[in-house]
Amino acid sequence: MKNTYFLQDSGNEQKLEQFGNYLLMRPSAGSVWKPSLEKKRWEQADATFTREKNAGWIWKKPIPSSWEMEFFSFRFLLKPTPFGHVGIFPEHALLWEWMEKRIEPSSRILNLFAYTGGATIVAAKKGASVCHVDASAPVVSWARENAHINQLERANIRWIVDDVVRFLKREVKRASFYDGILLDPPTFGRGAKKEMFKIERDLPEILDLCLALLSEKPLFLVLSCHTPLWTPLVVHNLLEQKMKKKGGRVESGEMILPSQACYPIPSGSFARWQP
């Protein structure tokens, strides 16, 4: 069984990715160069996602509704979604690795916009207590499935389905502090009760609330996003401004999908603070 992720090729605004046993072709707006592999290799994709007029998946071969894949020494349940996602963003691995080195078994970690729980699993495996927050009940259920297949049923994880801003305000009132906080906000979205989220409007307030929830001896605050025009400099400036009172330092960079077989692909920006 092929148990890992591998970027096979990129180019012509597409990417060819191996997710476990299945080869998928998906849009990649930043891949404006020519592909490295021949056309016949791309034609071997099991499925293609398109954003053209009839947006969705084009199935070339039978694919199960879900399958497991090993990545970053953990197992993940993958499912092709109507949005072209499959349940994992491999570009986050560099942040997981950085975070894993800093987490201790006694740490309290808050994972916001937590999606299917990659960072939650990383933190829980280190023995930390984790609060996993996302506005989508189906996505939180998916994250719980990922925890299950990683033998984390008894891990200290709080699964919260809620609007992030509303949840953070409650935590501030409760004086519920965290040693590490990470968030991967969408460009636009809706909360559990259809609250509208816009990153340019709501993220500054969210960072203020996160700042209020950091413990006396914090480990980190990590911000990542895939919003167009939110470059590493943008997220760096925003996080640095918010963290001035805490001191410390902010690092930033571009998240990428690396590959030894083709050109790497830009896949969003990150900024991370540590004391």
Among 3.40.50.720, 3.40.50.150, 3.50.30.30, 3.30.70.890, what is the CATH number of 90-274?
3.40.50.150
Mean pLDDT across 14-22: 97
Mean pLDDT across 220-247: 97
- AA letter at 77: L
**Between residues 189 and 202, which one has the greater pLDDT?**
202
pLDDT at 54: 83
Q: Domain boundaries in the chain?
A: 5-70, 90-274
Question: In this model, does residue 180 exceed pLDDT 80?
Answer: yes
Kindly report the average pLDDT of the chain as a whole number: 95
Is 5-70's fold the same as 90-274's?
no
Segment 19-43, tens digit of pLDDT: 999 999 999 999 999 999 999 999 9
Q: pTM for this structure?
A: 0.94
- CATH topology (fold) of 5-70: Immunoglobulin-like (2.60.40)
pLDDT at 52: 86
